[in-house]
Amino acid sequence: MIYNGNGAGTTYVNGIISALYAANTKNLVPGYRFSYSTTKTLTSAKLSNYDLLAMPGGTSGKTYLNSISASLIRNFVSSGHGYLGICVGAYAGSSYVNGLYSAWGCCTKCAL
């Protein structure tokens, strides 16, 4: 699942989509085909069909923190699913950002 809601940068979302398209069309990971969707809102029901949540770069990690439930992200990751944070998505997934603010704290198991 690729998040493209509040705070997500269109360029970053499109970059993830382009990478997945290239992986599929060029068979970059032999034997695997990546399926994905984008969403402007995250719910446990939406995430239940996916193995990984990709949080792209965007306006700020704080925007993500104010827009998305921390427990939703932590529960998704702690149940064995993956998290890919790019730029501010990585900040939002970390425990602390330069001592400036606390984030979701899911990234002890995340792919950053």
Domain ranges of the chain: 2-102
Per the structure block, which two tokens stand in for 98?
């330069």
Per the structure block, which two tokens stand in for 73?
């992200």
- The rounded percent of the chain whose pLDDT value lies above 90 is 59
Per the structure block, which two tokens stand in for 91?
């900040």
Report CA-CA distances (Å) from 28 to 23, 40, 48, 90. Answer: 5, 28, 26, 24
Q: How far apart are the C-alpha atoms of 28 and 77, rounded to whole Å?
A: 26
Residues 33/24, Cβ–Cβ less than 8 Å: yes
Residue 70 has pLDDT above 90, yes or no: no
Residue 108 has pLDDT above 60, yes or no: no
How many residues are there in the chain?
112
pLDDT in tens, 19-49: 999 999 999 999 999 999 999 999 999 999 9
Give the residue from 85, 76, 3 showing the smallest Cα distance to 39. Answer: 3
For the whole model, what pTM was predicted?
0.86
